[in-house]
Chain A
Amino acid sequence: MGALPSTDLKGYELLKDRVQGALDLLQEGRAVDFKRAVMWNELKQGIPKDILAMSNLRDGGIIIIGVEESDNKWNRTGMTDKQLNTYDPDDMIDHVNKYASPSLTFDVVKHTDNEGLKYLVIRAHEFEEKSFVCKRNCADELRQGAFYIRPLGKAESREVQTADEMHDLLELSAEKRTRNFMRQIQRSGFDIKTIPFEKTDIDKFDEELGGL
């Protein structure tokens, strides 16, 4: 069984900052998802979709377990030790990878807030060059061959539904390949010429700033 590291450990400083920021704001978004405190078995079926979707998102995202919605607002409840102890990172990664192609990885970390409440945090990493596709059906949750995303401006994980969403995903992948290609070209010593800098428009740019 894999032990759960804590955001208080060296090496997790920025994740701690990110989690604390999300808990301070208490606002879900494309890159932040809250779940109520439950045992792993209760979350198991739905979590691959969220992780696949966040891994297809630029910069990835975090899922914080231990925040509950009631009366249209989010409340920090934290998790009990009994609930936390049901989460094993190795099992979780194996479970999610039953549905992910190519295989993905994510961090599973404990976090304690300034009131002593405990949470489980899953940090999904953005894909390297190939976006993740679901390779297996799972009840009504997952469909083989589907790309899961976090749509622009929404805090939900769902299949790609429109041409624009598919285009955005492909474009992100293409952008990564382009940047890698540009790095290779630069390292090879090639010089790509662009339009030289014209000084004549500087005044217009200064003017629109209005002293900022």
Chain B
Amino acid sequence: MPIDIQALPEKIKENPHWRVNFRPTIHKIRINEIEALDLIKETSVKLRGWPYPFLSDDREEQILEENYIASGFDWHRHTEYWRLYSSGQFIHLFQVREKSDKDWDKKLREEAEDYILPFRKNVDLAIPGFIDILNLLYNFTEFFEFAARLCGKNLYQEELEINVELLKIKGFALIAQYPKLWRGYYPATSEKITKTWTTSPEDILAKSTELALEGAFYFLERFGWHNPPIDILKEDQEKFLSSKI
């Protein structure tokens, strides 16, 4: 399945997508491309069907440039592209899977009949897509777990900035799949939700799960879902991290 890796970022950016960016304080050479490849292999988070980030074994899906390595994938249910620079900067773009995976989108639309539609006033206005609440939590958990693993490997020794964005999602509604019984209509009212953390490697190592929860809550609240059930989400996160799901 040969793909044009360099064309992937534009394709992803045209659709609803996540953008995740880690950058340290000081711009300097921290790692060469071979070390970077091994680092990704050793630190990618494999808690569910798809590693975060995904490094293809196919050389056609890897790029080794002078100042970064990159990989991309566009197949089946996943479209993503990432780079790790020799400076330690990491950028990852990936499509909102709830939308790009047609089967999942269809399933969520069916669930929305019970979970969302009874709470809408203007039922004629189509919902363009959905954000699964647990998937959002798992995404954040993977972002911060990956950051913690990079810190654990001493890629970052000083403060770093972590920025997470969810883009092109105006009108997307939060949804919880059965057996969760969270009902209500919580749509995104803008195209973009973004949050940046400036934090230390020590903080990330110590509090990656808390930071991930904080990020998930921030995003859920931007959809208008206030006071999400913290204990339940925390429990779900613990199960996710211990591979008990």
Contact = CB atoms under 8 A, between A and B. Distances in A.
A179 B152 contact: yes
Contacts of A61: 46
B202 A10 contact: no
Contacts of A168: 42
B207 A186 contact: yes
A198 B24 CA distance: 9
Interface residues on B, range: 35 or more
Interface in B5-52: 9, 21, 23, 25-27, 38, 41-43, 45-50
B200 A194 contact: yes
A192 to B, nearest CB: 5
A29 B57 contact: yes
B93 A31 contact: no
Given A17-B49, A20-B49, A208-B67, A12 B158 contact: no
Interface residues of A, number: 47
B202 A24 contact: no
A182 B202 contact: yes
Interface stretch (B82-90, B121-129, B214-222): B82-90
A10 B68 contact: no
Contact of A209 (B91, B160, B202, B208): B91
Interface in B64-96: 67-68, 76, 83, 85, 87, 89, 91, 93
A139 interface: no
Contact of A208 (B49, B89, B160, B206): B89
Interface in B133-174: 138, 148-149, 152-153, 157-161
B227 interface: no
B49 A18 contact: yes
B205 interface: yes
Nearest to B9: A212
Instruction: Among B9, B47, B76, find the residue whose CB has the most chain A CB atoms closer than 10 A.
Output: B47
A208 B25 contact: no
A105 to B, nearest CB: 11
Instruction: Among A17, A179, A196, find the residue whose CB has the most chain B CB atoms closer than 10 A.
Output: A179
Contacts, number: 116
A175 B46 CA distance: 17
A183 interface: yes
Contact of A204 (B27, B83, B149, B157): B27
Given A14-B49, A209-B89, A192 B243 contact: no
B205 A152 contact: no
Contacts of B181: none
Nearest to B21: A209
Contact of A186 (B83, B91, B206): B206
Nearest to B82: A212
A14 B243 CA distance: 8
A195 B159 contact: yes
Contacts of B49: 14, 17-22
A76 to B, nearest CB: 16
A109 to B, nearest CB: 12
B245 interface: yes
Contact of B25 (A58, A59, A197): A197
A56 to B, nearest CB: 13
Interface string B194-229: 000010111101111000000000000000000000
B205 A179 contact: yes
A15 B48 CA distance: 6
A27 B245 contact: no
A178 B93 contact: no
15 contacts: A24-B76, A29-B57, A58-B43, A58-B46, A61-B46, A152-B41, A179-B152, A183-B206, A185-B206, A194-B202, A195-B159, A197-B158, A197-B198, A198-B25, A208-B85
